[in-house]
């Protein structure tokens, strides 16, 4: 709490506020987040989760997303983490979050275990780790 107040105060007084990344679930129709059961022919039941986030990088340097996980859900694999390149529109892991900008991030998981019913809302906490080792969390709610 004190850190947020200090960041606000230094920002108002013209100092350099401590930069952080902020994430929120992207609700744009072009990028629809979803969850569904994976291919039923597999022996082990799994759930596919695709989450699109809007990321604000308010630091003065580009940042990369190094890892992602969903709290309390053992992932078989984090298949893909990608940042959308505004020039090409393509998502790639090597694309950084540009400084002082907003970007779209895509995260895709395969989760071991039975899938939740698709007609139920999906609630989870997404944990992201950047290239400096700083962890960020955001609530994910998909209808």
- Give 53-79 as a 3 state SS string: EEEEECCCCCECEEEEEECCCCEEEEE
For the chain, what are the domain ranges? 19-142
- Rounded to whole angstroms, the Cα distance separating 74 from 113 reads 9
Check residue 56 and give its pLDDT: 92
pLDDT at 15: 44
Query: pTM above 0.85?
Result: no
pLDDT number for residue 117 = 64
Low-confidence ranges of the chain (pLDDT < 50): 6, 9-10, 12-18
Domain 19-142, CATH among 1.10.10.10, 2.40.420.20, 2.60.40.1890, 2.40.10.340 = 2.60.40.1890
């Amino acid at each position: 709490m004190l850190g947020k107040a200090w960041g606000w105060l230094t920002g108002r007084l013209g100092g350099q506020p401590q930069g952080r990344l902020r994430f929120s679930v992207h609700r744009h129709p072009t990028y629809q987040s979803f969850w569904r059961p994976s291919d039923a022919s597999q022996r082990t039941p799994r759930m596919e989760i695709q989450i699109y986030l809007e990321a604000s990088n308010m630091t003065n340097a580009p940042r990369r997303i190094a890892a992602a996980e969903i709290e309390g859900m053992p992932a078989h694999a984090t298949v893909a983490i990608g940042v959308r390149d505004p020039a090409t529109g393509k998502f790639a892991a090597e694309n950084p979050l540009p400084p002082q900008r907003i970007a779209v991030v895509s995260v895709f998981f395969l989760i071991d275990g039975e899938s939740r019913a698709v007609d139920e809302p999906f609630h989870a906490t997404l944990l992201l780790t950047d290239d400096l080792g700083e962890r960020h969390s955001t609530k994910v709610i998909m209808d």
